Amino acid sequence: MVTLLRVPSISTLPEHKNDIGICAQLCKELLKRSGCDRVEIFNTEGNPVVFGEKLTDPAKPTVLVYGHYDVQPVDPLDAWETKPFQPVIKNGKIFARGASDDKGQLMIQLKAFEILVQTNTTQNNIKFMIEGEEEIGSPNLNKFIKDHRKMLKADLVLISDSSMLSRTMPSLEISFRGSCAMEIEVTGPDRDLHSGIYGGAVANPIIVLSQMLASLHKSDNSIAVPGFYDNVLDISSKEKLDWRDAPFDEDSFKKQIGVIELWGEKEYSPQDRIGIRPAIDVNGIWGGYLRSGMKSIIPCKAHAKISSRIVPNQLSSDILQKIADFLRSKAPGQVKVHMQSFPGGEPYRIDTNSPFFRAAAKAIESTYGKPPVLVHDGGTLPICYLMEKELGIKSVLLGFGLPDDNLHSPNEKFDLNQFFKGILTILNFHGNLSENVIDKR
């Protein structure tokens, strides 16, 4: 795990292209060492996909394990207590970018597989698909899946890239939000202007951009984009109940992230807002003079990065179009607006009636001593939707992260207790799976 965590495989930054290649190579070696009969790196138009497989018995189910070796950027670097790519173990936790998302959790799958191989107990057929573009919305994965339908054929996709409610409150995801993002550039004058000479007669791109962004939400914190909520699925009352039953301590939630008060759509609970309701965030903004002191200018440009988390049955392309149209309608004629979309990941609902889901729930119960709470996860896993759309294969999530893992934040970490319980749970799952599936066939 440590070797993997040392590679700064940040997919969104072009200057880390080489590290991406190094990390893919490392994954290939790890798959081989763990016991795959076949391993191969596939180049795509973006970052490579690493594939591995060990086929044992055609009569047994085939599990396609999915993981990703790319990570989020590390900014702000000065907020890290230890260096993001020099893993350190403190108090039973390993600190590094990617420790929980997803290198550490990928290692759970590899270690469980290695144990099965070493002990000659691999009953199921196992395939691995490890991609390097999850953190940028998996833009080339759809084509890769289409081009390798036969190779990727499986009975289910198994993913460890999510979190549990707590160490003592095991949970299983029953839905994921999707995501889509865009960058927007507002241009006013052709250069930064003296704010004394021109101030009052020239549209200020920062003010215009602020007005555009401010228009995204209504005063009740719901989203003002026309048609935005059109396809939002009303989660069934049974599922809603399960979700609401999951304990939620608002005070500790607030304390964990250092906020005075929570925010959001007034008629929904905080849990609903991050689980079953869509959201729009601005992830970055910049324009004009950014250094110390002041500079009396009307800047020529202002930029923002905007993203939306979407829920079943919203579609990323539709939502991006609606947001873009709305923002454009808010820009006055005095400025030029340029928008660039980033690839989106679709939302996903887990089939809770499938034998695979039951095998997962049972595996957790065996390891943790209690059945999992069912939760709606606010994060995004583009792979689930893609595999179902292209190959008709459903996904099961067995995630072992914890809420304070600092995913995408400084000081990302992974609890080693969860790491070892994770390996045990995956071993249990493989055992349950062959029984369950045989029952159902």
State which of positions 17-46 bind a second copy (CB under 8 A). Answer: none
Cβ-contact 19, 9 below 8 angstroms: yes
Element (H, E) at 187: strand 178-187
3-state class of 207 per DSSP? helix
Q: Of residues 380, 418, 425, 428, which one binds a second copy by CB under 8 A?
A: 380
Query: Cβ closer to a second copy: 307 or 395?
Result: 307
Peptide bond into 377 cis (omega under 30): no
CB of 437 to a second copy, least distance (A): 31
| Among 45, 58, 333, 439, contact with a second copy (rule: CB under 8 A) | 333
Choice from 58, 76, 369, 392 touching a second copy (CB under 8 A) = 76
Q: Which is nearer to a second copy, 209 or 423 (CB)?
A: 209
**Binding string, residues 258-297; x marks residues near a second copy by CB under 8 A:** xxxxxxxx----x--xx--xxxxxxxxxxxxxxxxxxxxx
Distance separating alpha carbons of residues 86 and 351, to the nearest angstrom: 39
User: Restricting to residues 167-186, which ones interact with a second copy according to CB under 8 A?
Assistant: 177, 179, 181, 183
The SS3 of residue 184 is strand
3 state SS of 158: strand
If binding is defined by CB under 8 A, does position 89 make contact with a second copy?
no
Provide the β-strand partners of residue 52: 39, 128
| CB-CB contact of 264 with 218 (8 Å) | no
Stretch that binds a second copy, among 23-31, 316-324, 374-382, 417-425 (CB under 8 A): 374-382
Under the binding rule (CB under 8 A), the answer on residue 191 touching a second copy is yes
Q: Are strands 373-377 and 178-187 parallel, antiparallel or unpaired?
A: unpaired
CB 114 to a second copy: min, Å = 30
CB of 240 or CB of 305, closer to a second copy: 305
Kindly tell me which residue out of 84, 98, 189, 399 binds a second copy, with binding defined by CB under 8 A. Answer: 189
Rounded Cα gap, residues 16 and 4, in angstroms: 15
- Minimal distance in Å, beta carbon 172 to a second copy? 16
Q: How many CB atoms lie within 10 A of CB 437?
A: 19
Q: Report the sign of the C-alpha dihedral through residues 11, 414, 68, 181, in that order.
A: negative
Check residue 251 for interaction with a second copy (CB under 8 A).
no
Q: Can you spell out the DSSP letters for 314-348?
A: --HHHHHHHHHHHHHHHS-TTSEEEEEEEEEE--E
DSSP state of 372: P
Please, which of residues 302-321 interact with a second copy by CB under 8 A? Answer: 302, 304-305, 307, 309
Q: Which is nearer to a second copy, 154 or 193 (CB)?
A: 193
Is residue 6 within 8 Å of 83, Cβ to Cβ?
no
Judged by CB under 8 A, the stretch of 22-30, 88-96, 135-143, 318-326 that binds a second copy is 135-143
Report the residue from 30, 50, 193, 386 that binds a second copy according to the rule CB under 8 A: 193
CB of 64 to a second copy, least distance (A): 23
Q: Which is it for strands 348-349 and 171-176: parallel, antiparallel or unpaired?
A: antiparallel
Q: Give, as ranges, the residues between 221 and 250 that touch a second copy (CB under 8 A).
A: none
Region of 1-9, 54-62, 188-196, 354-362 interacting with a second copy (CB under 8 A): 188-196
In one-letter notation, the amino acid at residue 413 is K
